[in-house]
């Protein structure tokens, strides 16, 4: 049986990536034309905040949501990865 959830019930739900990492909590749901467009998620772990370059959270487009239930599961591809300095090419490497 299909269980329908109210959007208000989703606020403050925990968010995990599909690889099992805790990301944060749902802060807001963006709705356009009666359809969910995206989810504003606040990062709660210091490791995730540093991964985001100090940003407080992200907006995840709804197509990156894998499952909704007691928790929200998002694709790890929805989390932007900040390039490390060692990953960036040096000027000498470009030539």
Total count of domains within the chain:
1
For position 81, what pLDDT does the model report? 67
- pLDDT one digit per residue (tens) for the chain, 95 residues: 667 778 888 899 999 999 898 889 999 999 999 899 999 999 877 667 667 777 788 899 999 999 998 999 999 888 876 544 445 555 555 55
- 93 domain-assigned: no
> What is the model's pLDDT at position 43?
85
- Residue 1 maps to a domain: no
Q: Residue 14's domain is classified under what CATH number?
A: 2.30.30.240
Helix (H) / strand (E) element for 15: namely strand 14-17
**Domain assignment present for 13:** yes
Buried/exposed 40-70: b ≥16 CB within 10 Å, e otherwise: ebbbeeeebbebbeeeebbebebebbeebee
DSSP reduced 3-state for 5: coil
81 inside domain = no
Range of the domain at 17: 7-76
pLDDT value at residue 90: 53
For residue 19, being part of any structural domain is answered with yes
In a domain, 90, yes or no: no
What is the predicted pLDDT for the residue at 49?
A: 65
Q: Rounded to whole angstroms, how far apart are CA atoms 38 and 45?
A: 21
Q: Identify whether 22 is part of a domain.
A: yes
pLDDT score for 61: 93
57 located within any domain: yes
């Amino acid at each position: 049986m299909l269980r329908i959830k109210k959007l208000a019930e989703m606020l403050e739900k925990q968010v995990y990536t599909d690889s099992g990492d805790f990301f944060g909590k749902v802060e807001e749901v963006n709705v356009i034309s009666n359809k969910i467009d995206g989810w504003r998620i606040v990062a709660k772990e210091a490791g995730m905040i540093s991964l985001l370059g100090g940003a407080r959270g992200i907006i995840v487009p709804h197509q990156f949501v894998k499952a909704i239930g007691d928790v929200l599961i998002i694709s790890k591809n929805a989390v932007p990865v900040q390039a490390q300095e060692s990953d960036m090419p040096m000027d000498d490497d470009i030539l």
